[in-house]
Amino acid sequence: MRRADRLFRLVQILRRRKLCRARDLAEELEVSERTIYRDIRDLAASGVPVEGEAGVGYILRDGYDLPPLMFDADEIEALVVAARMVQSWTDPQMARAAGDALTKIEAVLPEKLRGLIGGVPIAVAEIAQEPIAISIPNLRRAIRDRSFIEIDYTDAKGDETKRRVRPLGMLFFGSTWLLACWCELRVAFRVFRADRIRNMDISTERFRPVAGQTLRDYLISEGIEGEILNGIGR
């Protein structure tokens, strides 16, 4: 790997993680820790706002960005497969958005790479899912806007309940979409199957993130860790 490419990747890794140890950076970039220390020093000298020290770890201050480099073949393949998963497993609105995103990506690729978009030899089959009565695009919007919602829910025993919740995020397990939320009634995290929500009303009232009550906090409480947490705010 060229040094310029390594430095760019180093910045990208620092952007997506809260704290990075030199040992972990060296392992991911397949270089020595001594090389990482030198690269960190050079980045800082060039004006990149890297903070930290050897033995503790490094962070990149918020607000810093680099102009993107062109995608390589592996990155294009990953994007295509991800888009095909979205098209096969989500609602029509998000499926269209995934297709539109690929079209935009293809438009900026050099001619020699454009053929990769349609030539990825990985197929994603549709998965049979239980019908969902509520609007998933509206639910996603409520999550994005941090709007309280009220749901009418039927559990596995057939018991019905009404809950006012803070929708935090959606999870996909096999063939089932789940809504992870903070329940105002139980004052605790709760997870509801989307196909068992009979009705949903979105409130005009918004909520603010509360420490200990976020999607990241829920995932950590369930023992989920690693890369999946990198893109999820605190």
Tokens of 142: 């409520």
Assign 168 to helix, strand or coil.
strand
Q: What is the pLDDT of residues 175-223, one digit of tens each?
A: 899 999 999 999 999 999 999 999 999 999 999 999 999 999 999 998 8
Domain that holds residue 53: 3-60
Q: What is the pLDDT of residues 42-79, one digit of tens each?
A: 888 888 888 888 888 888 887 676 656 568 888 899 99
| Measured distance CA(184)–CA(53) in Å, rounded | 42
Same domain for 146 and 214: yes
| Measured distance CA(198)–CA(191) in Å, rounded | 15
Do 125 and 164 touch, CB atoms closer than 8 A?
no
User: What CATH number should be reported for the domain holding residue 216?
Assistant: 2.30.30.520
Do 207 and 148 touch, CB atoms closer than 8 A?
yes
| In a domain? residue 94 | yes
Same domain for 184 and 217: yes
pTM over 0.75: no
Which one of 39, 60, 81 terminates a domain? 60
Torsion of CA 141, 147, 149, 155, to 10 degrees: 70
Contacts of 135 (CB under 8 A, 6+ apart): 200
Contacts of 205 (CB under 8 A, 6+ apart): 147, 148
User: What CATH number should be reported for the domain holding residue 22?
Assistant: 1.10.10.10
CA 133 to chain centre: 25
How many independent structural domains does the chain possess? 3
